[in-house]
């Protein structure tokens, strides 16, 4: 009797076919041993960051139970055994753990080298990253790390012949036992040290987000659920009642606003915010420009902050999926009849400009500014006069800058703006000295300051024809090795000040100030002592453009609080004379 041959092939079988000849010459290993080794590998090697952080916390306590300290690797080991065992079936084990080892190696490198914490927001940030940005993280050390901790174990797993139970009943019984024993062991550890783990966990909640692969797998599931399972969410229109109102003392000129969205700039590195190095030398020479000292971001990554600041939701109630399926600030301003334009130099507007007029800088069109698919922010000035002329009436032009995007900070400024030296001309920034890293980052802040100053001067050249106003704010900050953290994207509740305290500048022409009766002394005091955030952006822009709508909140309009009817045309003329003289 011929044996029945199934017409179905196991998934990914073709992936392992080239290795079958080598594999056939090796002795078979029991699947239980394979699972135990994989659990040990994840517990000790791919959870190196979590263990190091855990023992760092204990070291700071001074007095702790040695048994509690010794139990941590076993908690990870037993937990991994419980989680891994359901995936130990034939045709599932190898494909599943090949994927888990590859992603685990990548996540481990990011956590160890940059202090990155994986959650849903970080997964969203990764998905939103374009190829040029992703390539900036590629370096020799990253490749070697990935090969040694990811590819080598994967090859060993693929080549290894695995012996499985002969019957389904035996296999199920063995797996129940494989899960029951470590589960009981975990219960024993919990009985001995539950209070210790509860105390450390309450005071250091970020530890739970550092355990691999639970952190990035859970984050991916949450992101997938919100991103794709909510695709049927109906689109929510916002500001359908939006219309422009004439200012009571308007001077007859239309309004033009430059809205600059910065990238990865932290307030701690901005001279105008009290930093001791000359990173604000260009804006310092622009009369009337104000630096706001206390501004907080909505998120710690572009994928969160940009949609949030262009949403009518405040940070404490922000929902990314609702924002994705809603009109943005750009839509509402356009509904009111304002001509809008978004100029993109940072990998995308994250949905905020999709339904309105927008242009993306093409690196091939500006070789003098662009190398390797990324462009210096001075490219924003190219063609700007023609783009302004193509619009009509009141105008809102948003510039999404590349700013201080890391880790290849050295690519964000030209050679002639390499002011702080020695810098760090590499992507594996953790291998530079701290001073080299700071020098490189400070050069990006200084160059951004130059771009802000140039756009302000360009706007000032239009003040005879327009009431002009500029607002710059960064999307989030950056860690430069403080507390072992690099880059950004930390969960907001754990994020350090360096990732959430952002710079904000504003400048307005005398004509705009007079048309809104804005008291400059009041605004200057607000910049020094006021508390602001991305929550203020939405209503401030609506107020600047004279847009009346139910989603406008006057209490969040930065300028509204400084409207003073005693502001005189004579004072505006004096300021204009001073401004003109200094810009010439």
Q: Are 540 and 473 spatial neighbours (Cβ–Cβ below 8 Å)? A: no
Quick one: pLDDT band at residue 231, thresholds 50, 70, 90? Answer: low
Residues 182-197: tens digit of each pLDDT:
999 999 998 888 777 8
Residues 84-125: tens digit of each pLDDT:
999 999 999 999 999 999 999 998 888 888 877 787 777 877
The more confidently predicted of residues 283 and 26 is: 283
> According to the model, what pLDDT value does residue 345 have?
96
> According to the model, what pLDDT value does residue 140 have?
85
> According to the model, what pLDDT value does residue 18 have?
60
> According to the model, what pLDDT value does residue 583 have?
44
Residue 147 DSSP label: I
pLDDT at residue 371 tops 70: yes
Residues 265-286: tens digit of each pLDDT:
999 999 999 999 999 999 999 9
Mean pLDDT confidence for 525-540: 97
> According to the model, what pLDDT value does residue 223 have?
80
Task: Give domain 255-583's CATH architecture.
Answer: 3-Layer(aba) Sandwich (3.40)
> According to the model, what pLDDT value does residue 300 have?
94
CB-based contacts of 308-317 (< 8 A; 24+ apart in sequence):
308/534, 309/261, 309/473, 309/475, 309/534, 309/537, 309/538, 310/352, 310/537, 310/538, 311/538, 312/238, 312/239, 312/538, 312/551, 314/535, 315/533, 315/534, 315/535
Quick one: pLDDT band at residue 535, thresholds 50, 70, 90? Answer: very high
Coil, strand, or helix at residue 234? coil
> According to the model, what pLDDT value does residue 7 have?
46
Phi, psi torsion values for 564, nearest 5 degrees = -140, 115
pLDDT at residue 383 tops 90: yes
Unique residue bearing structure tokens 């019957």: 167
Could you tell me the CA-to-CA distances from 303 to 116, 263, 321, 532 in Å, in that order? 16, 11, 12, 21
pLDDT at residue 418 tops 50: yes
Q: Could you tell me the sign of the dihedral formed by the alpha carbons of 560, 566, 569, 572, in that order?
A: negative
How far, in Å, CA of 138 to CA of 485, rounded? 19
Residues 33-60: tens digit of each pLDDT:
999 999 999 999 999 888 988 898 888 7
> According to the model, what pLDDT value does residue 430 have?
72
> Which contiguous run of DSSP H or E holds residue 375?
strand 374-375
Mean pLDDT confidence for 436-443: 97
Q: In this structure, what is the dihedral angle of CA atoms 89, 90, 94, 99, given to the nearest 10 degrees?
A: -50
Phi, psi torsion values for 401, nearest 5 degrees = -85, 155
How far, in Å, CA of 475 to CA of 496, rounded? 15
Q: Are 264 and 475 spatial neighbours (Cβ–Cβ below 8 Å)? A: yes
> According to the model, what pLDDT value does residue 5 have?
46
Q: Are 242 and 541 spatial neighbours (Cβ–Cβ below 8 Å)? A: no
Quick one: pLDDT band at residue 361, thresholds 50, 70, 90? Answer: very high
Q: Could you tell me the sign of the dihedral formed by the alpha carbons of 493, 497, 501, 502, in that order?
A: negative
> According to the model, what pLDDT value does residue 582 have?
43
232 Cβ contact partners less than 8 Å away, ≥ 6 residues apart: none
pLDDT at residue 392 tops 90: yes
Unique residue bearing structure tokens 């690099």: 486
DSSP string, 413-432: S-GGG--SSS---SS-GGGS
Coil, strand, or helix at residue 384? helix
> According to the model, what pLDDT value does residue 575 have?
42
Unique residue bearing structure tokens 């500001």: 239
Phi, psi torsion values for 563, nearest 5 degrees = -70, 130
Would the pTM of this model clear 0.85, i.e. be above it? no
pLDDT at residue 579 tops 60: no
* Residue count of the chain: 584
> According to the model, what pLDDT value does residue 494 have?
85
Quick one: pLDDT band at residue 224, thresholds 50, 70, 90? Answer: confident
> According to the model, what pLDDT value does residue 17 have?
59
Phi, psi torsion values for 426, nearest 5 degrees = -155, 165
Quick one: pLDDT band at residue 493, thresholds 50, 70, 90? Answer: confident
> According to the model, what pLDDT value does residue 202 have?
66
> According to the model, what pLDDT value does residue 6 have?
44
DSSP string, 245-264: ---TT--SPPEEEEEEEESS
Q: What is the mean pLDDT of the chain?
A: 88
Q: Are 256 and 466 spatial neighbours (Cβ–Cβ below 8 Å)? A: yes
Mean pLDDT confidence for 222-249: 79
Domain limits, CATH 3.40.720.10, in the chain: 255-583
* Of the candidates 400, 444, 456, the residue with the CA atom closest to the CA atom of residue 419: 444
> According to the model, what pLDDT value does residue 247 have?
59
Coil, strand, or helix at residue 534? coil
Q: At what angle do helices 214-228 and 93-114 cross, to 10 degrees?
A: 100
Mean pLDDT confidence for 118-141: 75
> Which contiguous run of DSSP H or E holds residue 284?
none
> According to the model, what pLDDT value does residue 190 have?
87
Lowest mean pLDDT among 76-90, 245-259, 342-356: 245-259
Coil, strand, or helix at residue 461? coil
Query: Residue 236 burial by CB count (10 A; 0-12/13-18/19+): exposed, middle or buried?
Result: exposed
Residues 287-304: tens digit of each pLDDT:
999 999 999 999 999 999
């Amino acid at each position: 009797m011929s044996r029945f041959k199934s017409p179905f092939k196991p998934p990914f079988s073709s992936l392992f076919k080239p290795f079958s000849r080598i594999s056939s010459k090796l002795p078979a290993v029991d699947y239980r041993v394979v699972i135990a080794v994989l659990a040990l590998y994840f517990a000790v090697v791919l959870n190196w960051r979590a263990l190091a952080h855990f023992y760092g916390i204990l070291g700071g306590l001074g007095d702790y139970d040695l048994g509690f300290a010794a139990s941590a690797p076993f908690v990870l080991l037993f937990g991994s055994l419980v989680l891994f065992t359901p995936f130990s079936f034939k045709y599932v084990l190898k494909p599943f753990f090949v994927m888990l080892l590859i992603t685990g190696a990548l996540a481990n490198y990011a956590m160890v080298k940059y202090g990155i914490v994986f959650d849903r927001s970080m997964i969203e940030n990764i998905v939103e990253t374009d190829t040029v940005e992703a390539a900036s993280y590629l370096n020799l050390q990253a490749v070697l790390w990935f090969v040694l901790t990811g590819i080598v174990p994967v090859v060993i797993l693929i080549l290894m012949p695995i012996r499985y139970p002969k019957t389904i009943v035996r296999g199920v019984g063995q797996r129940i036992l494989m899960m029951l024993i470590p589960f009981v062991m975990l219960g024993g550890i919990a009985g001995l040290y539950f209070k210790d783990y509860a105390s450390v966990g309450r005071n250091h909640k970020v530890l739970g987000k550092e355990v691999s692969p639970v952190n990035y797998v859970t984050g991916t599931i949450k992101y997938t659920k919100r991103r794709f399972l909510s695709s049927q969410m109906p689109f929510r229109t916002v500001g359908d009642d939006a219309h422009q109102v004439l200012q009571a003392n308007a001077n007859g000129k239309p309004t033009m606003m430059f809205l600059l969205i910065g990238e990865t700039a932290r307030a701690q590195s901005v001279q105008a915010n009290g930093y001791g190095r000359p990173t604000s030398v260009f804006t310092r020479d622009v009369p009337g420009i104000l630096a706001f000292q206390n501004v907080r971001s909505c998120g710690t990554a572009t994928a969160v902050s940009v949609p949030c600041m262009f949403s009518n939701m405040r940070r404490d109630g922000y929902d990314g999926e609702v924002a994705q399926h809603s009109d943005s600030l750009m839509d509402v301003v356009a509904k009111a009849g304002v001509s809008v334009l978004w100029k993109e130099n940072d990998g995308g507007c994250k949905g905020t400009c999709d339904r309105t007029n927008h242009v993306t800088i093409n690196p091939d069109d500006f070789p003098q500014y662009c190398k390797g698919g990324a462009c210096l922010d001075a490219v924003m000035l190219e063609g700007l006069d023609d783009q302004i002329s193509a619009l009509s009436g009141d105008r809102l032009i948003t510039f999404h800058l590349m700013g201080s995007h890391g880790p290849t900070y050295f690519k964000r400024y030209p050679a002639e703006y390499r002011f702080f030296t020695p810098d760090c001309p590499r992507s594996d920034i953790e291998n530079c000295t701290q001073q080299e890293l700071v020098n490189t980052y400070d050069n990006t802040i200084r160059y951004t300051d130059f771009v802000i100053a140039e756009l302000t001067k360009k706007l000032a050249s239009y003040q005879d024809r327009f009431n002009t106003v500029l607002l710059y704010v960064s999307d989030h900050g950056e860690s430069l090795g403080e507390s072992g953290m690099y880059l950004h994207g930390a969960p907001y509740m754990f994020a350090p000040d360096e990732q959430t305290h952002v710079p904000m500048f504003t400048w307005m022409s005398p004509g705009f100030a007079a048309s809104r009766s804005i008291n400059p002394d009041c605004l200057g005091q607000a910049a020094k002592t006021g508390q602001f955030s991305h929550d203020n952006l939405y209503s401030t822009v609506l107020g600047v453009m004279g847009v009346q709508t139910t989603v406008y909140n006057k209490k969040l309009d930065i300028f509204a609080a400084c409207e003073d009817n005693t502001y005189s045309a004579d004072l505006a003329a004096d300021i204009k004379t001073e401004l003109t003289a200094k810009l010439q």
